[in-house]
Structures are given as C-alpha cells and as structure tokens.
Amino acid sequence: MTKTEKMLALEVEVPIASFRQSRAREYAETYPVPPPSTVYGMLLSIVGEIDRYKHCGIRLAIALISQPQKSTVIRTFRRFKKKDIHDPSNARPDYQELLTDIKFITWVDAGQDNSQPTLPERLQIAFANPASINRFGGLCLGESRDLVNAVTLLPKNYQSQSLQWLVCDENGLLTLPYWVDHVGSKGTRWQRYIILEPSEISHPPEAAWTLIQAT
C-alpha cells in the first residue's frame, strides 16, 4: 500500500442515534455530530478489533452530508444505586435527545498507526473480503441499539456534495472527546471544534484532522 493509499473515506448512514454529552445528567443531551471517539469505536468494530489501543495514532476527519433532525423522547435509564441489580431504585425515566437520519463521511488516515496492518489497510481488507473478518454483534454508532444502516467505501476520485466539516478550533464552542476513559473521566481526552457552513470542499482540510491517541 503506497503512501497515498494509506487513507480511505467511508460514507456512513445511521437511522437513529444519540451521542450523549459527557456532562449530561438527568436530561441526556446529544452532541450534534458523532464524536471522533465514537467513530473510532465503530471503525474498530468493523474489523473486529477489541483492543482500542491497537490503532492509536490514526487520524480521522468527519463531515456531515446533511443536518440530522433532533427530537426528545422519554426512556428508562439505569443507574446502579443499590447492589441488587433488580432494585426498582436503579431504574428511572428521563428525557433523552435523539438524532435521526444521520449521514456523514469519515476519512481514515494511517497517521502514526504503527500496527501491521494499519487500520486503513484492515478496513480495505474488510470490504474486499468480508468473510475474513471475525467479529460479533451488530455494527453500532454509540449505544448498542443505534445500529448502522450502511457503510460505503468511497472511490478515490469521489466528488462529494456539499459538506459540513468538523474542524478543530481552540475557540470553538463544541467540545468533543477523541478518547474516552470508560473506567472514570480522568483519562478522557477532549478537543474543541466548530462545524463549518456547507461547502463544496471534498477533501479534508488540515484543521479537520483529529489524532486518536490515549495520552
């Protein structure tokens, strides 16, 4: 695989999902775009990788194809206040924001990924020979109920329609995780972003790249 082939683009369609804001409590607000950490997890799931440290060093760029619609539902959340998992106090109804008709493109660049093969190479293999991939469960973006409808490998000469780019900006009002500490919050890593107005730019600008790393 040559240097120019160490990057690929995937178009992702998800009917419904919620990207819960890390600091949300009773009212489960959603981020307006899937965080880089969530997209990275989906990519690992595609290739059947369970070690999320395996491909640290890759770079991701994300652009919305269309603006998802937001709605609010009430659902049962579980918070383990009592040791008995079936204790009624562990479950309570709360409001949750949902996004529907999510369509975006993610570019995956090998970057500093020192694994052999790299994640872009493994994704290429997965699309060329799906039977070679050993994985389990449905492909989700975020929660296990938020199933992905389609992932399409885009050709190298693909010319996209108008896109809304997620770009890094130290003054941005949107703070998203690119690495999540699932044991606590101490190890979670954040980056500030803005979402640009729709444009005809079809290749990731430099500011759109996020380096996935645990430190």
Report pLDDT digits (tens) over 121-167.
999 999 999 999 999 999 999 889 999 999 999 998 887 779 999 99
Mean pLDDT (whole number) for 167-176: 96
For residue 182, pLDDT beyond 60? yes
Residue 119: CATH number of its domain: 3.30.70
Mean pLDDT (whole number) for 184-213: 91
Q: What share of the chain is helix, strand, coil (3-state, %, to 5)?
A: 15, 35, 50
- Whether 88 maps to a domain, the answer reads no
- Whether 28 maps to a domain, the answer reads no
Q: Which range among 46-60, 108-122, 179-193, 199-213 shows the weakest confidence by mean pLDDT?
A: 179-193
Classify residue 52 by burial, with Cβ atoms within 10 Å: 0-12, 13-18, 19+.
middle
Distance separating alpha carbons of residues 119 and 113, to the nearest angstrom: 8
Rg (alpha carbons) of the chain, rounded to whole number: 18
Residues 29 and 184: beta-carbon distance below 8 Å: no
- Whether 97 maps to a domain, the answer reads no
Mean pLDDT (whole number) for 74-103: 72
Residue in 57, 32, 33, 55 with CA at minimum distance from that of residue 43: 55
pLDDT of residue 84: 67
Cα dihedral sign, 192-198-204-207: negative
First-to-final CA distance of the chain: 28
- Whether 171 maps to a domain, the answer reads yes
- Whether 119 maps to a domain, the answer reads yes
3-state secondary structure of 76: strand
More confidently predicted of 163 and 93: 163
- Whether 207 maps to a domain, the answer reads yes
More confidently predicted of 147 and 25: 147
Distance separating alpha carbons of residues 147 and 144, to the nearest angstrom: 7
pTM score, two decimals? 0.88
**Residue 36 to residues 72, 85, 92, 151, 179, Cα–Cα distance (Å):** 23, 32, 30, 16, 8
Q: Domain range for residue 114?
A: 3-22+33-69+104-211
- Whether 164 maps to a domain, the answer reads yes
- Whether 79 maps to a domain, the answer reads no
Q: Residue 162: which residues within 8 A CB-CB, separation 6 or more?
A: 198, 199, 200
Residues 90 and 78: beta-carbon distance below 8 Å: yes
What is the count of structural domains for the chain?
Answer: 1
For residue 114, pLDDT beyond 50? yes
Let me know the angle formed at the C-alpha of 171 by 8 and 177, rounded to the nearest 5 degrees: 50
pLDDT of residue 1: 46
pLDDT tens-digit readout, 57-78: 999 999 999 999 999 877 665 6
Distance separating alpha carbons of residues 210 and 39, to the nearest angstrom: 11
